[in-house]
A = this chain, B = another copy of it.
Amino acid sequence: MMSKRVTLADVAREAEVSLMTVSRAVNNKDGISEATRQRIQSIADRLGYRPSLVARSLVTDRTSTIGLVVIDNANPFFSEVARGVEHAAYDASYSVFLCNTEEDTQREQDVLRSLEEQRVAGVILCSSRLEEDALHDVLKNYPAVVLVNRILGSKEHGTVSIDDQYGAQLVIEHLLRRGHRAIGFLAGPERSYSGQQRAKGYRMTLESAGISPTPDQIRHCLPIVESGREVARELLSARPELTALFCYNDLSAVGALHACAQLGRRVPDDIAIVGFDDIPLAALVTPSLTTCHAPMYEMGQEATCLLIERINGCLEECAHISFQPELVIRESAP
């Protein structure tokens, strides 16, 4: 199926020049006459020469690869971030390794280690579930790091996030304005930084309105439909007086929608449901979801640009990008 690979030496032999001349020609370096460059280039093309990035990387000590670590690429939030990352990386001639952690901290450490062995030029780590110490440990060997949806005490890494606390505030203020007082919260995974921040925004906004949410109206859930359905059902059964439910993300909110249907509670008449992220699905379900828009694609793009700047040694400027969420009011909480 495949014959032996063509190397610089093969091209050099064919062109009857030295290896170095071929290297200069194909890399468009100067110190070579335009005539020979063209001649060599055409021979290289004819032979089907493709530079070996692995050989090049070994000598330059620098790859053109980056690692993208997400919880789950099938989650629309991450697949959209990934699309932004891939696009920006393509534009900058980087290739992207995609890794899923599946909410498993062991696996997160594993993929980070294997990326290190691949000698990626940098890594974009989304929604890390590692504790600060463990995280610091695995990241310290990386030349460049951008964290998405996670902010660390030490500001040594680039970060891209949405203002989760403000997003939660927007949601709760909206619900308060509509007269809701008993507002439950599906808080997302326990180890989720965004979840913690949104919880903070939820609590603070309610408290400024003189309302103290009780612990049992806040429940953790996984960021998927099934978990949202299950946890929402439990919560709404235990606390039937709740008139609104703020959900960690749109997927869990869709699950909550189902739970309401099962419990015979009409949305939005009996209970209002709000999600987070504004994935395409949010506009497509019935009733359509009120949610907080996160610019997922741009976040992926920005994370990549930031990472590449850091790879190139620009460690200072705009290393911490925060996007402002925007409330999108739809049918589930008009």
Contact = CB atoms under 8 A, between A and B. Distances in A.
A240 interface: no
A95 B67 CA distance: 10
A82 B86 contact: no
Nearest to A72: B83
Given A80-B74, A90-B111, A54 B50 contact: no
Interface stretch (A97-105, A126-134, A166-174, A201-209): A97-105
Given A95-B114, A141-B2, A286-B285, A86 B73 contact: yes
A63 interface: yes
A144 B97 CA distance: 19
A60 B68 CA distance: 26
Contact of A141 (B48, B52, B285): B48
Given A90-B111, A95-B97, A113-B50, A83 B76 contact: no
Contacts of A76: 74, 76, 79
Interface stretch (A116-124, A188-196, A212-220, A268-276): A116-124
A203 B144 CA distance: 55
A21 to B, nearest CB: 20
Nearest to A288: B286
A116 B49 CA distance: 11
Interface in A47-88: 48, 50-55, 57-58, 63, 65, 68, 72-74, 76, 79-80, 82-83, 86-87
Given A74-B76, A82-B98, 5 more contacts: A50-B116, A52-B58, A52-B117, A73-B73, A225-B280
21 contacts: A2-B141, A2-B142, A50-B113, A50-B117, A50-B141, A53-B117, A53-B119, A54-B63, A72-B83, A74-B80, A74-B83, A76-B76, A82-B98, A86-B98, A86-B99, A90-B99, A93-B114, A96-B98, A97-B97, A98-B98, A225-B284
The 4 A-B pairs with the shortest beta carbon distances in the complex, nearest first, are A286-B286, A98-B98, A79-B79, A74-B83
